[in-house]
Amino acid sequence: DIIRGKDMYGGNKKGKKQRQQLEGNLQKIFRKIHDNLEDKEATGKHYGKDGPEFFKLREDWWFENRNEVWKAITCRADRENTYFRKKTSEGNDCTVEKCKCIAGDPPTNLDYVPQYLR
C-alpha cells in the first residue's frame, strides 16, 4: 500500500511526519524511474500527467516487482512460518512454508482489497 500510494494509516504526529518524509522519498524515486523510461512517447501516452505522485507508475512497478519484494520480505522466514490464509479457493493449502504458496508465489490475495476491509 505504501509503494502504491494507497496507505491509509496516518499515525501519530511523529508517524505522520515520517510518513510524509517517506512519501517524499518515494516521489523522488519514482520521478527518477519515470525520467529514465526509454520510450518517452509511449510512456507519455500511458502515464500522461501521472506526476508528481506517480500513482499509475507505482501501481505498474508494484505489479511487476511484488514477487521480488515478497521474496525479500520472507527470505529470513523460518520454514514453519505461514501466511494467515490457509486455503486456496480450490481448498488446497496456500502457504505451506516460508510464507509462500505451493508454487512459490507470494500470497497476494489482499493486494487490491481496500485497506479498511482487511
- Which residue, 24, 27, 23, is CA-closest to 7? 23
45 vs 12: which has the higher pLDDT: 45
Question: What are the φ and ψ backbone dihedral angles of 93, each rounded to 5 degrees?
Answer: -65, 135
Number of neighbours of residue 107 by Cβ within 10 angstroms: 17
- The widest CA-to-CA distance across the chain, in whole angstroms, is 48
pLDDT higher than 80, residue 82 = no
Domain boundaries, the chain: 1-75, 78-108
Cα separation, 7 vs 118, whole angstroms:
12
Question: What are the φ and ψ backbone dihedral angles of 45, each rounded to 5 degrees?
Answer: -70, -40
pLDDT higher than 60, residue 3 = yes
